Amino acid sequence: MQRLVVVSNRVPLPSEKGPRAGGLAVALADALVPGSLWFGWSGRRAARPGAEPAVQTSDDITYATIDLSDTEYRQFYAGFSNSVLWPLLHFRLSLQHFRAEDYQGYRAVNRRFAAALARLLRPTDRVWVHDYHLIPLGAELRALGVRNRIGFFLHTPFGPPAITQALPHGNALLASMCAYDVVGFHTETYRTAFVDCVREMLGGKPDGDGRIGFGTCAFTAIVDPIGIDAEAFARMAATSSRGAESQRLRASLGDRKLAIGVDRLDYSKGLLSRMDAFGRLLERYPHHHREVSFLQIAARSREDVNDYRDLGEELNRIAGDLNGRFSEFDWVPLRYMTRPVRRRTLAGFYRFAHMGLVTPLRDGMNLVAKEFVAAQDSADPGVLILSRFAGAADEMTDALIVNPFDADEIAEAMHRALTMNLEERQERHRSLRQRVWHSTARRFCEVFLDHLGRDEDDLPASAGPDQTEGASLASFGGA
């Protein structure tokens, strides 16, 4: 049997305890089959990280991880990945902080990952690489002579040439993506943008059927929206809503309606304009005072990147200001938490909420939108307010779709959600539920692995431009 090898920047080790924010771990946890190998960073920093991965097995899944040095962490993770690629991929060009040494560090860590992984690979393994930290990993593996089928899935948006051209070393990175056999995106918009970039920036040749030729490579670009295990999440929400934490929340609200937002504390999630919108709702519709409480959970993340620290401070200020302006002695409109909350607890909170606010400025997919829908009680469902710039908006068209840059429009949608009759809430929920049950985590994995398993006889053509030992990276744009 062919083994699945998953590669991601951060491997969530089975020994780790506590709540974690992050979509990838959640989606893959549902889909890794026994016998698989998960390779990546341990999350630890070491003074002198060893070249050999540490290996542990749990529930018949093998976890192979390497540590990063402080310099690698700074350059590869906090630097190029999260201070250049992340803002660029979310269309925030002016938030890029490019330093040449960070790029070199990014390439070096990808080389180190490739060298450690290549030693673990068996000839028939299928390798599935995830996300923007590891864009050049496939090209590095090819340069080491690896001939396995290798796929790459990007969990973020992908911008058109006008955006992607602003990425320092953009041509080299784009070219390195062509070393994969399959490249996957959440939506057709991102896939089309990628194909346009390969054509315009590299002179690649798409054939119209999703196959793209570039140099001696031929690969496939696919659309494969990620989802959740909807059935399991719904069950968890029903159970958790009867649990102690949900009951405490319910008791604290009295007969007020709950609005909920759950995100990582990230500038892509649109938290500032969401809080602004809540203030405008209260300003414009005083009769909603004391009728609604907004619980925003924004788990702190990437705190060693300055822009995240600045955003945290700004949110503290705005949250304090909003509560100062509108609170009454027995009602606090906004409850703002920056600690992560367990997924099970969140599921119960969603079920109980009258509206869910998912208003990112740009988001690859956004799984909170799907979790919110899965958690609802179909007899009395809450309303989802969803940004048109979340990948999820492609599928979830019966949410109240808003422009996240327009706080007035979000405020109006909140008003509409608070006053929506039961029949309309049920109708919208029925259609959203269908989409969430259709496009699950399992389906996401099946579709990708199906594409990765195709063209088995086609290896020499699709396995990269040069399989000889010591093959140069130059054909992929070089380091």
Binding site for ligand ADQ (CB under 6 A): 19, 21-24, 26-27, 155-156, 226, 262-264, 297-299, 340-341, 343, 346, 363-368, 371
Question: What CA–CA distance (Å, rounded) separates 112 from 255?
Answer: 56
User: Closest CB to ligand ADQ among 240 and 475?
Assistant: 240
DSSP H helical ranges for 215-335: 230-240, 244-253, 271-284, 306-326
Report which secondary-structure segment, H or E, holds 368: helix 367-375
When the beta carbons of 444 and 476 are compared against ligand ADQ, the nearer one is 444
Q: Which two tokens mark 25?
A: 């771990």
Contact 273, 405 (CB under 8 A): yes
303 or 424, CB closer to ligand ADQ?
A: 303
Minimum distance from CB of 436 to ligand ADQ (Å)?
Answer: 13
Q: How far is the CB of 440 from ligand ADQ (least distance, A)?
A: 13
DSSP H/E element including 358? strand 355-358
Residues 6+ away with beta carbon under 8 Å from 153: 128, 129, 130, 131, 183, 184, 185, 224, 448
Structure tokens at 464: 């990269």
Beta carbon nearer to ligand ADQ, 346 or 479: 346
Q: Which residues contact 254 (CB under 8 A, 6 or more apart)?
A: none
Cβ(297)–Cβ(341) below 8 Å: yes
Is residue 363 part of the annotated active site? The answer reads yes
Angle, helices 230-240 vs 343-352, to 10°: value is: 80
CB nearer to ligand ADQ: give 212 or 374.
Answer: 374
C-beta of 387: minimal distance to ligand ADQ in Å? Answer: 11
DSSP 3: P
Q: Kindly report the number of other CB atoms within 10 A of residue 289's CB atom.
A: 14
The catalytically annotated residue of 90, 133, 155, 186 is: 155
186 is an active site residue: no
Which is the catalytic residue, given 125, 196, 363, 398? 363
We find the least distance from the C-beta atom of residue 362 to ligand ADQ, in angstroms, to be 9
- DSSP letter for 286, please: G
Look up residue 27 and give its amino acid. Answer: A
Tokens of 193: 């943008």
**Shortest Å, Cβ 268 to ligand ADQ:** 7
H helix or E strand, kind and range, residue 197: helix 188-202
Strands 182-185 and 205-206: unpaired
Do the Cβ atoms of 147 and 139 come closer than 8 Å? no
- Shortest approach of ligand ADQ to residue 277 CB, angstroms? 19
Return the active site residues.
155, 363
